[in-house]
Amino acid sequence: MPRKTSTLRFLAQTILLLFWPAMTVWASDPKGSSSNGTNIFAPASTPAKSIADLSVFVLVITGIIFVVVLTLLLYSVIKFRGRATDAGREPAQVYGSTQIEVAWTIIPILVVVVLFLATARVIHAIQDAPEPAGTLDVIAIGHQYWWEFRYPKLGIVTANELHIPVSDPSHPTPTFVQLLSADTDHSFWVPELAGKTDLIPNHPNRMWMDPQRTGVFLGQCAQYCGTQHAKMLLRVSVDGPEDFAAWVRAQQNLAVEDTGAIAGKRVFESNACMNCHAVAGTAADGRFGPDLTHLMSRTTIGAGAAKNTHDNLRLWIQDPSAIKPGSLMPAMKLSDADLDAVVSYMETLR
Amino acid sequence: MVSNAIPIPGTQIEARPWVDELHQWVTTVDHKRLGILYIASALMFLAIGGVEALIIRIQLMRPHNDFVSPEVFNRMFTMHGTTMIFFVAMPVLFGFANYLVPLMIGARDMAFPRLNAFSFWLSFLGGLLLYFSFVGGSGLYGAGSAPDVGWWSYAPLGARAFSPGHSSDYWTLALLVSGFGSIGTAINIIATILCLRCPGMKINRMPLLVWMNLVMAGMVLLAITPLSAAQIMLLIDRYLGGHFFDTQAGGSAVLWMHFFWIFGHPEVYVLIIPCFAFTSEIIPVFSRKPIFGYPVMVAATVCIAFVSMSVWAHHMFTIGMNSYANSFFTLTTMAVGVPTGIKIFNWIGTMWGGRIQFKTAMLFSIAFLFQFLIAGLTGIMMAASPFDWQLSLSYFVVAHFHYVIVGGILFALFAAFYYWYPKMTGRMLSERLGKLHFWLFLIGFHMTFDVMHIPGILGMPRRIYTYEPGRGWDTLNFIITIGAFIQALAILVFLANLVISYVKGARAGNDPWDAWTLEWSISSPPPAYNFATVPTVASRRPLWDLKHPEDPDSRYE
């Protein structure tokens, strides 16, 4: 019966396909590796780790259910296929069985109870976690299409690239992030550090993470927020204690006054730039766009849309939509001389 | 129960001019013609929504692709979602309900034929309004655009500040107008089932399809009304200075989410329960056995309806509800798995000990069982709310609900097409083309949606028009796009089958499948009045009783 064998083959392939994600995920577990991706099964922080553990538990239970039900289905399809010898005779007409119905009602109820209890424990552990003494507080504000980060106790305002300290499990220094939105809904998602939490206007939220290895962790906005939702990328730099302290000291400084870039500064302050952007220590105090005081300390521009290089910066100021169509920053239509001047001014903001 | 067709003056004339024919279709109040109109309009929108899906897939085929602009991409996924849910899935299911429910309960029409016609035309008008946004979205100067707010139109993205112009107003009006149509049809289905059953068809003798459509119609009343209320509130916000959802004036974005999902989750069951209904009719006939555990199937359906009304906030696990709310919705969502599991077991129990005939309709039903099982299990994964904090809003969730809607609903619908097309047209669908359609669609489906789970696990959010290379998403997205085109090819085979078989298909006769429900007792297609004499039934399978007078079901019930 060629049809039956192809049914079998297809089913075998499908089972493989279903388990493929789990297998590739475990095979590529980058424990100890320095490059970080966005794999939810490569957690580097307590919330992400307890989610991954729960996920494996749920995957195993659902995997067992899958195998059992699939076996029943396959067995009945193959065993009870119609044969030429049936010749019009009808099989025994069975209407049901109370015992069997009770059995396959009670067993799933028990499975649900087990799954629920395991889940409720993780919900409580993550959501109701107390803030220990060494906590770093950060406020993240979602904007169309970039992230504003404020460190209220440290007096720092920055954008798109969050710096937080690594947390030693024996002496935890977790980061608690208050999530706000300036416009539409966004969602803060760095898969290897924590599950996602939305940023909703008029609805402050909170999330936390305690990364246990250093490195740059990638993420992005997960809740559709408008035209450029796709390029609202997010980088979390987890620094060692000394590196983090150095970063804090550098960020707390006012902008460097470089006399060589005075022309560019004049362009910046005599055009609309300063309506939206702030540069601490100067007249520019706009808050609609990212704070530029230490722009050159960031590795990307446009919320991760491009690397922070001279050419990209120039192109961005000349026409942001060339890199990020739909970005709310207008093309400033500067002359080439003004453009070069303002780019060199930007490049002094270390 | 031999049908003796009575010629009615004016309905049997050959070769009418096409204008007359068209006029007949436009003004019809016949439940069968309205059913076919529903199905035809849904197929038209299926083609449109499918093209939108292909545009999305081409754009995502490789990183930094620039096939379409971000604006166009956002319009495409908004229109694709809205079209497929409101103008494909709901109408096509209403179409089958319209066509089959009166036939299966031995009625001559729906309870309110004119309301029936009104409801259909409202739904259709809703679809036209949605697509008019392409020309009228930005006003009258012709540079139109479609809505780009996503099919949930989350507040405040749908507010005037973020969505100026009229494109999202067309979205609102389309849902409002078609929503009234849905409510009309739901009332009609309920009234028909409660009042027009033929003698002997007690409520515990109704075919499961009728039972499940009764439950579905009840859910439509409960689910569509909050959606309509929310749309009216949104219009008040946009035009009358209201602040329900206007966060800039103290309104609540979360309120909109609650309104939308208290519609949105029951809606999933509004769509899947009629598909359970098809499966519950088709599997017994091709296994040559009655459905296993009829009373349990009914109870499970009613149970799903009740529980599914209390699970909506599992779409909102990431919005920052407290741990008690998250636990509650975790529990209710997992609990839905129990009655759903019972149904899958009962279908397997029906096949168990049967003599299964692998007609195309049965193949689609078996594939439905398999895929619905997986969709249910990934649903359990996301019911575990911490797991959902990772999976929600990612491509995993996109894969999950396409597993439900394509792997479940669409496969069951194709089974229904192959099963009832002979009744509707009098011609059999080609089994050869049908099997080609089945295998192509199966391969395309699994290529697309099995693979689509993985980028979600690897951190790819949904609704992004492009992505960075080097995150492990590139190859996967390429495979997904190829799968989408294979599915499109399969749909073309299906449409060709519908057309070719209409002209060349073998004559169906009254009862091509040797089935047991009342619609197979009359000619194919049935006459306008359905039953020349109203039948009397004594069991759940009246035609079995007729064909096996020595061993009728009525002896055991």
Can you give chain A as a three-state secondary structure string?
A: CHHHHHHHHHHHHHHHHHHHHHHHHHHCCCCCCCCCCCCCCCCCCHHHHHHHHHHHHHHHHHHHHHHHHHHHHHHHHHHCECCHHHCCCCCCCCCCCHHHHHHHHHHHHHHHHHHHHHHHHHHHHHHCCCCCCCCEEEEEEEECCEEEEEECCCCEEEECEEEEECCECCECCCEEEEEEECCCCEEECCCCCCCCEEEECCECEEEEECCCCCEEEEEECCCCCCCCHHHCEEEEEEECHHHHHHHHHHHHCCCCCCHHHHHHHHHHHHCCHHHHCECCCCCCECCCCCCCCCHHHCCEECCCCEECCHHHHHHHHHCHHHHCCCCCCCCCCCCHHHHHHHHHHHCCCC
The share of chain A scoring above pLDDT 90, in percent, equals 83
Give pTM, 2 decimals: 0.93
Taking the C-alpha atoms of residue A326 and residue B68, their distance in angstroms, rounded to an integer, is: 13
Closest chain B residue to A205, measured at CA: B320
Per-residue pLDDT of A178-207, as tens digits, reads 999 999 999 999 999 999 999 999 999 999
Yes or no, beta carbons of B330 and A123 under 8 Å apart: yes
* Confidence (pLDDT) at A3: 46
Is A37's pLDDT higher than 90? no
Yes or no, beta carbons of A14 and B450 under 8 Å apart: yes
Closest chain B residue to A118, measured at CA: B384
Mean pLDDT for A231-244 is: 96
CATH number for the region B18-555 comes to 1.20.210.10
DSSP string across B120-151: HHHHHHHHHHHHHHHHHTT-TTS------STT
**DSSP code of residue B505:** P
Which residues on chain B are in Cβ contact (under 8 Å) with A233? 468
* Confidence (pLDDT) at A21: 52
Which residues on chain A are in Cβ contact (under 8 Å) with B458? 37-40
Query: Measured between CA atoms, how close is B249 to chain A, in angstroms?
Result: 10
* Confidence (pLDDT) at B11: 53
The torsion defined by the Cα of A292, A295, A300 and A304, in degrees rounded to 10, comes to -20
Yes or no, beta carbons of A116 and B331 under 8 Å apart: yes
Is A18's pLDDT higher than 70? no
Mean pLDDT for A156-165 is: 96
Yes or no, beta carbons of B318 and A197 under 8 Å apart: yes
Which residues on chain B are in Cβ contact (under 8 Å) with A305? none
Is B7's pLDDT higher than 70? no
Taking the C-alpha atoms of residue A221 and residue A254, their distance in angstroms, rounded to an integer, is: 30
Closest chain B residue to A35, measured at CA: B471
Q: A299-320 burial, b for 16+ CB within 10 Å, e for fewer? A: ebbbbbbbebeeebbbbbbbeb
The SS3 of residue B491 is: helix
Which residues on chain A are in Cβ contact (under 8 Å) with B295? 96
* Confidence (pLDDT) at A5: 47
Closest chain A residue to B344, measured at CA: A69
Q: Is B465 on the interface with A (CB under 8 A)?
A: yes
Tokens 């299906």 label which residue?
A: B494
Taking the C-alpha atoms of residue B356 and residue A82, their distance in angstroms, rounded to an integer, is: 5
Task: Tell me if B285 sits within 8 A of B250, measured CB to CB.
Answer: no
Is B239's pLDDT higher than 70? yes
Taking the C-alpha atoms of residue B493 and residue A111, their distance in angstroms, rounded to an integer, is: 42
Q: Is A38 on the interface with B (CB under 8 A)?
A: yes
* Confidence (pLDDT) at B556: 80
Tell how strand A306-307 and strand A300-301 pair up: antiparallel
Query: Measured between CA atoms, how close is B395 to chain A, in angstroms?
Result: 10
Q: Is A199 on the interface with B (CB under 8 A)?
A: no
Yes or no, beta carbons of A123 and B295 under 8 Å apart: no
Per-residue pLDDT of B443-469, as tens digits, reads 999 999 999 999 999 999 999 999 999
pLDDT level of residue B389 (50, 70, 90 thresholds): very high
Which residues on chain A are in Cβ contact (under 8 Å) with B248? 201
Task: Tell me if A154 sits within 8 A of A191, measured CB to CB.
Answer: no
Contacts of A343 (CB under 8 A, 6+ apart): A264, A310, A313, A314, A317
* Confidence (pLDDT) at B555: 84
Whether residue B525 is preceded by a cis peptide bond, meaning omega within 30 degrees of 0, is yes
Taking the C-alpha atoms of residue B193 and residue B208, their distance in angstroms, rounded to an integer, is: 12
Which residues on chain B are in Cβ contact (under 8 Å) with A198? 318-320
Q: Is A73 on the interface with B (CB under 8 A)?
A: yes
How many residues belong to chain A? Answer: 350
pLDDT level of residue B17 (50, 70, 90 thresholds): confident
Which residues on chain B are in Cβ contact (under 8 Å) with A195? 318, 386, 388-390
| Optimal mutation site among B248, B435, B458, interface A, most CBs of chain A within 10 A | B458
Tell how strand A146-151 and strand A156-159 pair up: antiparallel
Which residues on chain A are in Cβ contact (under 8 Å) with B287? 80, 91
Q: Is A328 on the interface with B (CB under 8 A)?
A: no
Mean pLDDT for A160-184 is: 95
The SS3 of residue B461 is: strand
Helices H / strands E in chain B, number of each? 17, 0
Mean pLDDT for B475-479 is: 96
Which residues on chain A are in Cβ contact (under 8 Å) with B472? 37, 39
- Tell me the pLDDT of chain A averaged across its residues: 90
Mean pLDDT for B434-445 is: 97
Contacts of A184 (CB under 8 A, 6+ apart): A142, A144, A201, A225, A226, B154, B156, B157, B162
Yes or no, beta carbons of A91 and B288 under 8 Å apart: yes
Closest partner CB to B457 (pick from A39, A108, A229): A39
Is B1's pLDDT higher than 50? no
Q: Is A141 on the interface with B (CB under 8 A)?
A: no
pLDDT level of residue B205 (50, 70, 90 thresholds): very high
Is A24's pLDDT higher than 80? no
Q: Is B66 on the interface with A (CB under 8 A)?
A: no
User: What's phi and psi for B555, nearest 5 deg?
Assistant: -70, -25
* Confidence (pLDDT) at B551: 87
Tally of domains in chain A = 2
A50, amino acid identity:
S
End-to-end CA distance of chain A: 73
Query: Measured between CA atoms, how close is A309 to chain B, in angstroms?
Result: 18
Per-residue pLDDT of A295-343, as tens digits, reads 999 999 999 999 999 999 999 999 999 999 999 999 989 999 999 999 9
Yes or no, beta carbons of B287 and A80 under 8 Å apart: yes
Which residues on chain A are in Cβ contact (under 8 Å) with B394? 222
Per-residue pLDDT of B124-154, as tens digits, reads 999 999 999 988 777 555 556 899 999 999 9
Is A148's pLDDT higher than 50? yes
Query: Measured between CA atoms, how close is B143 to chain A, in angstroms?
Result: 18
- Domain containing residue A46: CATH number: 1.10.287.90
The SS3 of residue B231 is: helix
* Confidence (pLDDT) at A30: 44
Tell how strand A233-239 and strand A161-165 pair up: parallel
Q: Give the C-alpha distances (Å, rounded to integers) separating A271 from A34, A314, B117, B554.
A: 43, 16, 62, 88
Taking the C-alpha atoms of residue B80 and residue B129, their distance in angstroms, rounded to an integer, is: 15
How many A×B Cβ pairs under 8 Å?
291
Query: Measured between CA atoms, how close is A217 to chain B, in angstroms?
Result: 12
Is B331's pLDDT higher than 90? yes
Q: Give the C-alpha distances (Å, rounded to integers) separating B166 from B76, B132, B135, B173.
A: 17, 11, 11, 10
Q: Is the dihedral of CA B537, B539, B542, B547 positive or negative?
A: negative
The SS3 of residue B497 is: helix
Yes or no, beta carbons of B331 and A11 under 8 Å apart: no
Contacts of B286 (CB under 8 A, 6+ apart): B356, B357, B358, B359, B361, B362, B365, B513
The share of chain B scoring above pLDDT 70, in percent, equals 96
Query: Measured between CA atoms, how close is A135 to chain B, in angstroms?
Result: 20
Yes or no, beta carbons of A187 and B318 under 8 Å apart: yes
Residues 338-357 of B with CB under 8 A from A: 338, 341-342, 344-346, 348-349, 351-357
Closest partner CB to B457 (pick from A41, A50, A120): A41
Task: Tell me if B262 sits within 8 A of B226, measured CB to CB.
Answer: yes
Task: Tell me if B226 sits within 8 A of B183, measured CB to CB.
Answer: no
Which residues on chain B are in Cβ contact (under 8 Å) with A67? none
Mean pLDDT for B275-293 is: 96
Longest Cα–Cα distance in chain B: 75
Residues 75-134 of A with CB under 8 A from B: 76-77, 80-83, 86, 90-97, 100-101, 104-105, 108-109, 112, 115-116, 118-120, 122-124, 126-128
Domain ranges of chain B: 18-555
Yes or no, beta carbons of B384 and A55 under 8 Å apart: yes
Query: Measured between CA atoms, how close is B29 to chain A, in angstroms?
Result: 38
What residue numbers bound the domain in which A315 lies?
Answer: 259-348
pLDDT level of residue A89 (50, 70, 90 thresholds): confident
* Confidence (pLDDT) at B218: 97
Which residues on chain B are in Cβ contact (under 8 Å) with A194? 389
Closest chain A residue to B384, measured at CA: A119
Q: Is B452 on the interface with A (CB under 8 A)?
A: no
* Confidence (pLDDT) at B554: 85
Q: Give the C-alpha distances (Å, rounded to integers) separating A259 from A252, A282, A314, A345.
A: 21, 13, 20, 10
Which residues on chain A are in Cβ contact (under 8 Å) with B392? 196, 222
Is B335's pLDDT higher than 80? yes
The SS3 of residue B427 is: strand
Task: Tell me if A24 sits within 8 A of B359, measured CB to CB.
Answer: no
Mean pLDDT for A97-123 is: 95
- Tell me the pLDDT of chain B averaged across its residues: 94
Closest partner CB to B353 (pick from A80, A104, A201): A80
Mean pLDDT for A208-228 is: 95
